Amino acid sequence: MSSTPDLDSLVALVPRPFALFDAEHRLLAANQLAADLLGHALEDLAGMPCKHFFTGLAGACDGPESCSLHRALIHGSRLIENIQNDRLGGPLSLHLRVIQNQAGYLGVLLEAGNSMPAAESQLVGRSEAMQNLMTMIERVAPTQATVLLLGESGVGKERAADHLHRHSRRVSGPLVVVDCSTLGENLIEAELFGYEKGAFTGADRRKIGLFEAAEGGTLFIDEVGEMPLAMQSKLLRALETSRIRRLGGTDYIAVDARVIAATHRDLAAMVQQGQFREDLFYRLSAFPIQIPPLRERPDDILALAEHFLQHSEAGDAALPLGPEVCEMLLGYQFPGNVRELKNIISRAAILADNGPLRPEHIAFQAVRRGDIDISAGRIPRSRNRLSTERILAVLQACDGHRSEAARQLGISERTLYRHLQKIPEY
């Protein structure tokens, strides 16, 4: 590495395993942590091709189809499993986080072993917004801060909560999810705090609540904006004191659960309208993270589409996406956000029968970008598009099957349930 002494000394400053590659995927510099991780001697590294560096196998980069660096670049990150490198003394899994500058140079952070997020829970995205989001999540993850995830339905709030939990020190503890929009006013307290035997009719035994179930881990409170006011003050007390009281109980019980909350609603506006407690709003907003809708981060569309395709039965066989399909996907607004894209790709993968996707396999669930009135610079909110008539028509067409109807509407079953609750005749 003596030919690039400046780079060597610079990468040595990075406190995690790190490597720099040129646009041809030849190694320019790596720090000792990266060399140790992959069982290389630092002095052997200069000019080493990416394939040799990551897998220990001789030979130049395999090209876009199977190069790990290339795939990591498309997805923002990549998990390479079971690397069999003689020097490693056993198989290794590696998680790569890759960024590229305009000149094509690549910076790669490496993470090894069990601390890696599992492939299926990977947070995919290479847009600047997504990179910032990942950085923010990974910074706040090791702290105890309460985090509020904000964003439209289907943008990936639950996914982000999962990512946060996996990067926190609580990763070996449970991640418990509660969705306030699916629990009635009476149920929610019993669910969160549990109850003692005899607390109410039917309480024939003691039951611990989700706060206690999340002991040592994370409690993800989804759709916190739907929480009834009376319950909001109890939640605030639990957050402030780290103690809860079961329904019908007299003792306070200490709980150690980190809370992440999420909502698609404008909580500040709800505070103004007296629908959300101001003190809880400030408590939850200690660390707000906004997840932009997919239409505002088009750079993520193809990365996500490829990710979903890769995790479909077709796997890598259906990749790469053809230019016409890419153009179609990039020209669509995705009112149902990432969830809608996932549904579109799952359906297309089935129709393509493990072959490459063709335009006729792609069926959008709403109007295309050209059909949307964006003259005022505004895109209709998904809530407007989900009219009662449309929901009922789709439900009827699906013979009342909610999961299928939700799929066709590009929303989660929970979101559908929420809408149905608001339809009086339903």
Q: By rule CB under 6 A, what string of x and - marks binding of each residue 379-418 to ligand ATP?
A: ---------------------------------x-xx---
Out of 126, 157, 167, 277, point to the residue binding ligand ATP (CB under 6 A).
157
Per CB under 6 A, 150 contacts ligand ATP: no
Tell which positions 212-251 bind ligand ATP, by CB under 6 A. 222
Q: Tokens in use for 117? A: 């997020």
Half-sphere exposure of 303 (CA within 13 A, CB side): 22
Contact 359, 324 (CB under 8 A): yes
Q: In the bound complex, what is the minimum distance in angstroms from residue 179's beta carbon to ligand ATP?
A: 7
Of 212 and 222, which has the nearer Cβ to ligand ATP? 222
Per CB under 6 A, 28 contacts ligand ATP: no
Which amino acid does the sequence have at 120?
Answer: E
Cα dihedral 108, 113, 115, 117 in deg (nearest 10):
70
Per-position b or e across 121-149, b if 16+ CB within 10 A of its CB:
ebbbbbbebbbebbebbbebbeeeebbbb
Q: By rule CB under 6 A, what string of x and - marks binding of each residue 340-379 to ligand ATP?
A: --x-------------------------------------
Beta strands in 113-217 (DSSP E): 147-150, 175-179, 194-195, 207-208
Among candidates 403, 400, 398, which has minimal Cα distance to 416? Answer: 403
Contact 356, 170 (CB under 8 A): no
Pick the piece of the chain touching ligand ATP (CB under 6 A) from 5-13, 16-24, 109-117, 152-160.
Answer: 152-160
Among candidates 215, 83, 220, which has minimal Cα distance to 165? Answer: 220
- Is the CA virtual torsion 71, 73, 74, 76 positive or negative? positive
Q: CA 322, 94, 301: angle at the middle one, nearest 5?
A: 30
Per CB under 6 A, 338 contacts ligand ATP: yes
Per CB under 6 A, 156 contacts ligand ATP: yes
Q: In the bound complex, what is the minimum distance in angstroms from residue 324's beta carbon to ligand ATP?
A: 24
Per CB under 6 A, 123 contacts ligand ATP: yes
Q: By rule CB under 6 A, what string of x and - marks binding of each residue 257-296 to ligand ATP?
A: -------x--------------------------------
Q: In the bound complex, what is the minimum distance in angstroms from residue 151's beta carbon to ligand ATP?
A: 6
Out of 153, 168, 365, 382, point to the residue binding ligand ATP (CB under 6 A).
153
Residue 173 is given by DSSP the state S
Pick the piece of the chain touching ligand ATP (CB under 6 A) from 87-95, 117-125, 185-193, 201-209.
Answer: 117-125
Contact 341, 334 (CB under 8 A): yes
CA–CA separation, 30 and 193 (whole Å): 50
Contact 238, 211 (CB under 8 A): yes
Pick the piece of the chain touching ligand ATP (CB under 6 A) from 13-21, 52-60, 155-163, 357-365.
Answer: 155-163
Out of 110, 155, 238, 305, point to the residue binding ligand ATP (CB under 6 A).
155
CA–CA separation, 305 and 19 (whole Å): 28
Q: In the bound complex, what is the minimum distance in angstroms from residue 294's beta carbon to ligand ATP?
A: 8
Of 338 and 395, which has the nearer Cβ to ligand ATP? 338
Q: In the bound complex, what is the minimum distance in angstroms from residue 161's beta carbon to ligand ATP?
A: 8
Q: In the bound complex, what is the minimum distance in angstroms from residue 165's beta carbon to ligand ATP?
A: 13
- Which residue lies nearest ligand ATP, judged by its C-beta? 156
CA–CA separation, 349 and 361 (whole Å): 8
Out of 159, 206, 245, 265, point to the residue binding ligand ATP (CB under 6 A).
159
Q: In the bound complex, what is the minimum distance in angstroms from residue 149's beta carbon to ligand ATP?
A: 8
Per CB under 6 A, 49 contacts ligand ATP: no
CA 361 vs. chain centroid, Å, equals 26
> Which residues of the shown chain bind ligand ATP in the complex (CB under 6 A)?
123-125, 151, 153-159, 222, 264, 304, 307, 338-339, 342, 412, 414-415
